[in-house]
Amino acid sequence: MADKHTGETTHFGFSEVPIEEKANKVAAVFDSVASRYDVMNDLMSMGIHRVWKHFTINAARVRAGQRVLDLAGGTGDLAAKFAEQVGVDGTVILSDINAEMLGHGRDRLLDKGIDKVQYVQADAQYLPFPDDYFDCITIAFGLRNVTDKDKALRSMYRCLKPGGQLLILEFSKVKVPPLKALYDVYSFKVLPWLGEKVAHDAESYRYLAESIRMHPDQKTLQAMLEEAGFGQCQYHNFTGGIVALHRGYKL
């Protein structure tokens, strides 16, 4: 499903809200879940999110001396590894629109002794970085929460160097019918229950399940990348399409 607005509204989960209200509503969700985000990620995915992220890091092929931007970086999982890969001459910026999530990621990396990463609170739609600056931009499980995805993709394209790549790791559309039925039950019954028991917030996790269903499917997102100017666009499905990794280059 494409990210289309209807008049002056957009979707917030399954609800329609005024465009100007969505960012604040998403912020409230992540303010609520930030402190338990790591634990919930492991519980929700049974730890498989670590495999998906590991694959993304390997696919990025980041080299020493490069500049990398990890958008919606939350826990800092990708940024931590990229900091090792770029070395002393490279740059890694962890960015998130949500101050709670960004602070959580910063504290987590500092606790691990990782002090090279830079931190910038920023909206993916209006990135405060120069043109042609980054070798690689990643966004893991964050694009579906952006109000105007097309605008965000164009902003990312602007900030990439010619030859630079964008990697989007995001929940997508399940392609295996028996798995889809089980996944729907899990998403709308089990996930809110886990949210209530672990994070004391069922509603935020109900929104997260709904936001996954409203996110563009694999082919639609690939078309959006191409429309934003990216070339050599492709995607790879994980776990029957529950998650997909999209890649595009600034040619």
* 93 in Cβ contact with 119 (< 8 Å): yes
Q: Are strands 91-96 and 67-71 parallel, antiparallel or unpaired?
A: parallel
Q: What is the mean pLDDT of residues 20-39?
A: 74
Q: Is residue 137 part of a domain?
A: yes
pLDDT tens for 48-104 read 999 999 999 999 999 999 999 999 998 899 999 999 999 999 999 999 999 988 998
pLDDT for position 14: 81
Structural domain includes residue 225: yes
Quick one: pLDDT at residue 35? 67
Structural domains of the chain, count: 1
Residue 237 belongs to domain spanning:
54-174+217-249
More confident residue, 115 or 15: 115
pLDDT score at 40: 66
Residue 212 DSSP symbol: H
Cβ atoms 56, 49 nearer than 8 A: no
Q: Does 239 fall in a domain?
A: yes
| 212: in domain | no
- Give the confidence band of 5 by pLDDT, cuts at 50, 70, 90: very low
Residue 2's pLDDT is 42
Number of H helices, E strands in the chain: 10, 9
**pLDDT greater than 50 at residue 6:** no
State the pLDDT at residue 205.
83
Residue 108 inside a domain? The answer is: yes
> Cα separation of 25 and 98, whole Å?
11
The pLDDT of residue 224 is: 98
pLDDT: which is higher, 130 or 204 = 130
Supply the mean pLDDT for the chain.
90
In-domain check, residue 62:
yes
Residue at 43: amino acid letter: L
CATH of the domain at 114: 3.40.50.150
In a domain, 198, yes or no: no
CB 140 within 8 A of CB 153: no
When pLDDT is averaged across residues 143-165 and rounded to a whole number, the result is 97
